[in-house]
Structures are given as C-alpha cells and as structure tokens.
Structure 1
Amino acid sequence: MADGRLVERLRQFLSELSPGARALLMTELERGLLRGEEMPGAEIVLQELRRSARGHTRPKRPGSLSRLFFQPLEPVLVDDTATHHHPGRIARVVLQPVWEWICRDLMPGEVTAVNDQVAAAFDDDDAARAEALAKAFQERAIVRIEEAIAAARSDEKVRRRLAGQIGTPRALDDIAAILTVLKARQTLAAFAAHLPNHIKSLDDTNIDAVKAIIESPAAGGPALFVYVLVMTMGKLGAPWQLIRLARRAAGTDSATRIAETPYAITVDIVLAEIQRLINELKAELRSGRGLGVSALLKSIHDAARGMRSEINFSHESAWARGLAALRTQVSDLLKGEIETLPGRVRRLLRPRPIKEIAPNSALDETDVRETELQIEFVNTCRAYAGELALSELTTRTWSDLEHYLDPATSALVENLRVAGDTDRPFRQSQLDAAVRFCRKVFGDDYATLLLKARDVAVSAERRAAKS
C-alpha cells in the first residue's frame, strides 16, 4: 500500500502549489524530457499538472475506507474515460460508481459501520488499525462481489439489473477486473517488490531479467499476466518499450510470430496507451495549446516510431491498421492548428491605414501570447512531423511564416518611424509582437537586430517631433 500512499501524497502536494508554481514545474519537466534527461516519475507528475491546468478535478472518493479499499488497484489504474478499454487497466473514474454500488446495494449496513470504525482509527492516529479494518472488509466484500458476478452470469435479468446499479459503460468487466486485482493484491504487491523502481530503458542489459521476474511463480501465473505487464510498463521510462518483451519472446520482429506468443497482449496495451495520450492531447488543444502539448507530442511520436521500428508490420494485420488509424488521428487533430497560423500572424501584423487604428490603442496581449504559443506549437510539430504524417504541411506552413515575417518587419519599422501621436502605440505594439514572433522563427540574433531597428525608428520619430 506504500505506492498508493505516495501517489496520494503527491496529488496533495501538487494541489497545494500556486498556479504559477505548477506552470513553472510543468515547463521545467517538459524541457527536461525533451532534452532526454532521466526523470523518474515525471510522467505521473505531468499528468496531474495537466489536469490541474485544465481546471479539472477528480471527484472525491467518500471517506477513508474507500481509499484504503481501492488502494491495491493503484498500480493498474488509468486516468481515462470509462469507455476506452485498456487491457489490464482499470479507469479511475469507475471507482466512484462501484463504491456507491457497494455502499447502496451490496453491503450498505456494513459499509457504514466499518467506515465509522476506520474514521475513528484515523482520529486516534492509528493507521495500522484502520488498514486492518479495511483489509478485513476487503475480504468480506470480495466474497459478496463474487456472488454478485456469479448470479449475473447465470441470469440475464440479474445481469442487466447489476449493470444498471453500477452504471458504468462496461460495468461487469469493471467489477470483474477490480475483483481479480483485489483477490491477488498480496501477490501483485510481492511481484512489484521484485521489479526495479525505474527502468530507464528496457534493452539487452536488463530485458531477460525483467522477463524472468514476469514469468516467475511469484507473478501469479496466466490469470495475472496482463496485470503484471501493466505494472511493468509503469516502471518503464518509455512505456512503449513494453513491446520489446514480445519481440524477445518471439525471437523475431515478425508481427505474425509475435501474435502467437503470450506477450502479444503487450502490443494491445501500448496501442491503448497511445490512444490515451491522443485523448490527452485533444484536451490540451481544447484548453488552448496548454503546457503539456510538447511532452504529449513527444510521447506519441516516440511510441509510434518505437512500434514501427521494433515490429515488422509489412503484412496487413489488426495491429498495423490500429497504428495507422492512431497516426491519422493525430495528423487530423493537428492540421487545423497548424494551417491557421500564417493567417493569424498576418491578421496581427498587417500594415493598417491610420483610419483603422483607434487612438492610443494596441494589440490585445492575450491574442499576441496565444499566437506566440501557436508558433511554438507548430515548431514542436515540425520536430515530430515525419512520424505523424505532417512533414509536408509543417514545412509549407513554416516557409509561409518565414516569407511573410521577413518583409513584414521592414514595413512595420517604417510605419513606426513615421507614426503620429494617435497611432504610435498601436504600431509599436505590432512591432513588439513581430519581435516576439521572429524570436521563435528566426532566433535571438534576428530578434535583437529587429529591436535595434525599432529603437532607431523611435529615436528618429522623436527627433522629427522636436524639429
């Protein structure tokens, strides 16, 4: 249960940071990941920070008993929708409906009594007693859940009623998975203790040792195989590398041969993880190209490239079609964001006649900042364009941007030089925005020269005004 407590403490710590501190931490983590630095635990921290940046909050689970009850599930939980199927993983959002079902329909009186006992134990600062009470309750709940599942499997009417009581899209599958992990909680905890805390790279130096742990009797055998694979993935610096176990087991990169091994499920696990990352990317883009976009794009790119390099998909297969569909999803998702950039820059920087400029007005800072972020975003896309089928679009968009900015800055400098009192603030705000954009496109040296040109133009205007 130590891992679960650490995760809860991490969430509590992050929630207490100021918005500025969370944004700074997210930026530094992303920069470190993009530089290839070893940062154990960075992905889970980024995941929590992204959710906080979007203003999302996870529904609270009522009472300490529920937290202790579900704690063994922590290594296989995934933050995703309840409709997206992850082999060997349980969507965190289903825990609340399942707990409500236990409280309301399965063990209502007992939950109330034990919950009060656990709360009293915590009030007395007796965590050991609280955990003992929760474990005893888990044992009794396991029996009751098994009975409910058995009744549902033998009676269609009971099955429909149970699904309705729980209310999640995959209700029976959800409680079956929860039951499996709860029954095997001691075995899975022992397996986790044998794994390294962090595996920077799953390669020839350690893959056989990791594979031996997965195949050892301590791992619980075939019934728990998919769960121990998911737990192993949680230790990897690059989760997609889980598929290397499949390649090792098959002794070849042939997708056909890999599909014949028990480790074929690793491919499905990684494909589901890529889909989750794409869903995260969609949410980030809806929030306005949030700080998590760069890290998400890198993770998706690396996973897609890793799959194509590790497995030979030359023969048509469901895996090949699935990966192709994911790459298309990303391409379609990013195209709109990329294509609108040149037009947005032109709208802000186009030279305007004085009659279109309100006295003492300026460009909207939010608009300028969002455009600056969009330039950064497109530049990030360029780095990953090949694997995400965006090379032609990003090359064309960036070229359009370069060809527009270079002559446009000269016109902006000249307009500032001859500006009058009423239009000068607006024209200077345009040139200041151009400096920021050019710094992203052409680099610091170009931006510095443009700043000097701006200062010369302002000085010339002041001298003209004095004369």
Structure 2
Amino acid sequence: MAGIEKLREKLSLYLSTLSDSAQGLLLRSLEKSQRDGTSDAASDMILAALNDILKENTPDIPLEKYAKKEFFRAAAVFTSGIDHVRKTQACISPSSHDVIWAWVMRDIVTAEQKAKLQKACNGLSDDELVKQGTALRDELVPAISKYLKSVLNEMGGEQKIANHLGGVHVYHDLIDILACGEQLSPLAPILSRMPAQLSSWSTPEGEEIYKLVSKYTQQAPMKACWLFSAISKRLSSQKLKIQLATKLGGSDDAIQVAATVYAPAIVQVLADMEANLAQFEKCLSQPSEFETCLRHLSTWRSLAKYMDAEMDISVQCAWGKAITSMKTKLSELLETEIESTPGLVRKALRAPKNGAQEFADQNLLQDAERAVLLFHNAERMKDCIALNGPIGRIRKELDQSFEILTTSLIERTRLAVGSDAEICKVLGETAVIFAKNLFDDAYAAAFRRQLKAAASVQEMRAAEA
C-alpha cells in the first residue's frame, strides 16, 4: 500500500512538470480510453492523478460570475452595441452593466448574499449554476425595486440614486434593466422565429417576421421601442430597421414616420450615429485607438448613407436638423485633421538635403499614414458631409506632389547602398500604403514593381562584384 502511495506521489510530481497543453492532450486521451472501455488500472491511476493536479491548478470561480450573467440575461437582448450619448428608451449602454453590478454589490446585497456570491462554484453543472444564479437574481431584483421605491419617495431621490450610480443615464438604464424581463416575454414568439441574421424583408423569412412585427406593434403600440431594440442584433444591417419603420408607417417621409409609433426605430439609429460620432471624436486624440477611430467613422458613414437612401428627410424637421448637426461637426473634425495631409506626406518621403544620409522618422511616417487614411475616408464621404471644397484642394495638392515624391524615391532606391538602401525600403513600403489609399490597388502595385526593380539594380551590382 505504501508503495502505491509513493508511486502516486512520483506520478503527480511528473505530471505537474508537463505543460498545460500536454496535460490537456493527455487528459483527453485518457478520458476517451475510459469512455471506450479500453483503459486499464494504470491509465485510471494516471487519470485520477491528473484530475487532482488540474483541480489544484484551477482558480476558484465565484458564483458572482454566473449570478451577474443571469441578472443581465434579459437585459443583454436590449443592450446596444455602443454606449449612447443620451438615454434612449429600451436601449441599454453596455458600460452600464458593470457600473450597475458594482452598485448592487456595494449597496444592495446583504452579508449573507455576498457570502453566497463569493463562494467558489467549481465543479457545479451548468444547470446548477443557472439555478443558483437565477435564485440570487430573483432575490436581488425585488430588493433593488424596494430600495428605489424608498429613495424615490425622498426629496431629490432620483438625483441621489443617479449620483450613486455615476449619472442619470445609468439610472435610466437600471430602470430599463428591471423592466427587461417583463418586456422580453411577449417578444418571444417573434424572436424565436427570427433567424440569427435577417438580410431582407422580401424573403419568405423576412415576410413572416414583418407580419409578426406588424401585428405586435398594432396590439402593443407603446412597446414598439422594445421590439425594435430587441431585433437590432438580428438584422444584417441597420438599413433594415429604417426600412421596417417606413414600411410599417406606409411612407418614407420622415415627418410622417416621426408622428407614428414606429419612430423609435429611427430614433435608435440616430442614437447609434451620435454615439459613433462621439467615439470617433474621442479616439482621434488617442493614436493607439486609430483603428477603432476609423471603424466608428465607417459605421457612422454607413448609417448616414442608409438614412439618406431610405428616407425623405427634410432639413427642417427634427431628425433632419439632428443629422445636419452631426454632419457639420464631423466636417469640422475631418477638415482639421486632413488639412495637414499633403505636408506630412512630403515631409515623410522627401529626399535628404545636400547629399545627407536617408532618414526615416517613424513618428512622422505614422502621422502621415494616419492623415492619408483619414483623407481617404473623408474623400469617400465628401458629398455626405459637404467637404467638396477642402477635399478637392487637398486632392489637387496631393496629386501634384505625390508623383514627384515617388519618382524621387524610386531613383534614390536605385542608387542607395548599405543603410540608405534599408531606409529606402522602409520609405517605399510606407509610400505603397499611401498610394493604395490615395489612388487604388493597381496604382500601388505598379509603384511597388518599380521600387522592386530599382532595388534589384544594386543587388545585381553586388552579385557581379
């Protein structure tokens, strides 16, 4: 018996030296053998030892993780893909989840509930995790409602709660979250029939969903905002949400649609536009967030395009004024950013003075590439944001200087040796990116071939020598 225990200790010591991937591979192999009935006593001993090691190495997972998931399960259906600038009914900002949960843990849960939430739940089945998480949610929701009712009866109660949550917006998101379960239940017949991604209202699936949506909005017109929010993530494009509002309203006239119960669909799209514009502006000042910045700009452009294409929006109506205001702000932001593009491109690619060595300023190259990408995006939407004049002027300046710069760079690449050749290679790669975004793929490919041919001259000379 002592010998077996000693063997187990040595086995555990050896197994603990294996990498995580090796342990996982061995575990799967042993479990398969056990399922197939081909394992023996030695295999079972190894499997038991390996399970003990993995159990020791697995950090404790508190029940709070699953209770939080259950608490926000219904709310997830109505949670937007982006934080809205202003509260939109039935649309919950994703960042509100963590803020509200932190408030619940701080101000609502009892000591007994906190102990339950902090208890490790490793090893529990999925069904048991859902069961315990749901039970805690069912305790917390009434407690929150009771607390809110009590504080709201006080003078300035709403502001007090908003202060505790960090803002009025989060407070209104909390109110929506508490209502989500009740609002989601009657939508189940629609959501259960709706595909993960609906691409058109004219397909058999689309026509079926449209009939269900039409019937629901007629029966519960004041709850239309919840329906439009719930189906948002099931639409392949937000264009479909705009089409739905105009189709239900029987008109593409914005003023007419605004006067119907279908208006929330458009209000939600406008809220997404405003949110993407706000995030674009925020990310502009953060170089590390530049890709995110372009993504928000692209999303805004798509939404604006859908609004223009699907609706007849007068600039005098409220929605028209809101869109015009956003276009004006975006025009101002972009004009400021792209104004320096020609100068940055010249500085980044220009030849050194008086025969000096080639030099590549990485910060300057990054700034120039950033400006070129912004200009490329601004040029694509120049008609939408009324930047024809500035973009035309900048485009003319770029056209005049870029050919000179690239001709110079090709010649410098042909003559460069040593470190100059390496730097010309870096400059050439950046210039190809510029060419692709300022012109097109074909232009960039032709330019790349010229650079490659120029670089091969020195390579052939070196080989001959």
Contact 2:183 2:226 in 1 (8 A): no
Q: Which shows bigger deviation, 175-184 or 421-430?
A: 421-430
Match of 1:112 in 2: 114
Q: Does 1:161 align with 2:160?
A: yes
Amino acid paired to 1:350 = R
Contact 2:196 2:234 in 1 (8 A): yes
Q: In 2, distance between residues paired with 1:219 and 1:132?
A: 36
Amino acid paired to 2:90 = G
Contact 2:84 2:271 in 1 (8 A): no
For the residue of structure 2 that corresponds to 1:371, the secondary structure is helix
C-alpha distance 220-97 of structure 1, shift in aligned 2 (>3 A): farther
Q: How far has the Cα of 1:278 moved from its partner?
A: 2.0
Contact 1:246 1:261 in 2 (8 A): no
Amino acid paired to 1:323 = I
Q: In 1, distance between residues paired with 2:208 and 2:163?
A: 45
Q: In 2, distance between residues paired with 1:161 and 1:296?
A: 34
Q: Does 1:307 align with 2:304?
A: no
Q: Does 1:335 align with 2:341?
A: no
Q: How far has the Cα of 1:195 moved from its partner?
A: 1.9
Q: Does 1:452 align with 2:449?
A: no
Match of 2:405 in 1: 408
Match of 1:77 in 2: 79
Q: In 1, distance between residues paired with 2:181 and 2:187?
A: 9
Match of 1:258 in 2: 257
Q: In 1, distance between residues paired with 2:178 and 2:419?
A: 72
C-alpha distance 348-203 of structure 1, shift in aligned 2 (>3 A): same
Match of 2:379 in 1: 382
- Gaps in structure 2 of 5+ consecutive residues: 1-61
Amino acid paired to 1:143 = P
Contact 1:89 1:230 in 2 (8 A): yes
C-alpha distance 61-188 of structure 1, shift in aligned 2 (>3 A): farther
Q: In 2, distance between residues paired with 1:384 and 1:453?
A: 36
Q: In 1, distance between residues paired with 2:416 and 2:403?
A: 21
Amino acid paired to 1:166 = L
Q: Which shows bigger deviation, 411-420 or 179-188?
A: 411-420
Q: How far has the Cα of 1:321 moved from its partner?
A: 0.5
Q: RMSD of the TM alignment (CA)?
A: 3.6
Contact 2:331 2:387 in 1 (8 A): yes
- Gaps in structure 1 of 5+ consecutive residues: 1-59
Cα deviation digits, residues 71-93 of structure 1 (max 9, x gap)? 22112123544753233211122
Matches of residues 127-276 of structure 1 in structure 2 within 5 Å? 127-189=126-188, 191-203=190-202, 208-216=207-215, 221-222=220-221, 224-276=223-275
Q: In 2, distance between residues paired with 1:348 and 1:328?
A: 31
Q: In 2, distance between residues paired with 1:75 and 1:444?
A: 46
Q: How far has the Cα of 1:386 moved from its partner?
A: 1.9
Count of aligned pairs between the two proteins: 399
C-alpha distance 420-303 of structure 1, shift in aligned 2 (>3 A): closer
Q: In 1, distance between residues paired with 2:71 and 2:247?
A: 37
Q: Which shows bigger deviation, 183-192 or 166-175?
A: 183-192
For the residue of structure 2 that corresponds to 1:174, the secondary structure is helix
For the residue of structure 2 that corresponds to 1:156, the secondary structure is coil
C-alpha distance 190-137 of structure 1, shift in aligned 2 (>3 A): farther
Q: In 2, distance between residues paired with 1:172 and 1:432?
A: 51
Amino acid paired to 1:237 = S
Q: In 1, distance between residues paired with 2:92 and 2:327?
A: 25
Match of 1:45 in 2: none
Q: In 2, distance between residues paired with 1:98 and 1:199?
A: 32
C-alpha distance 153-221 of structure 1, shift in aligned 2 (>3 A): farther
Q: In 1, distance between residues paired with 2:233 and 2:417?
A: 62
Q: How far has the Cα of 1:267 moved from its partner?
A: 1.2
Matches of residues 2-17 of structure 1 in structure 2 within 5 Å? none
Match of 2:91 in 1: 89
Q: Which shows bigger deviation, 393-402 or 318-327?
A: 393-402
Tell me the TM-score normalized by structure 2. 0.73
Identity %: 19
For the residue of structure 2 that corresponds to 1:115, the secondary structure is helix
Cα deviation digits, residues 217-251 of structure 1 (max 9, x gap)? 69993464312211112111111431222211221
**Greater RCO, 1 or 2 (C-alpha within 8 Å, sep 6+):** 1
Q: How far has the Cα of 1:199 moved from its partner?
A: 0.9
Contact 1:188 1:219 in 2 (8 A): no
Contact 2:74 2:181 in 1 (8 A): yes
Rg larger for:
2
C-alpha distance 174-298 of structure 1, shift in aligned 2 (>3 A): closer
Match of 1:281 in 2: 280
Q: In 2, distance between residues paired with 1:427 and 1:239?
A: 45
Match of 1:65 in 2: 67
Q: In 1, distance between residues paired with 2:82 and 2:107?
A: 26
Q: How far has the Cα of 1:319 moved from its partner?
A: 0.5
C-alpha distance 453-316 of structure 1, shift in aligned 2 (>3 A): same
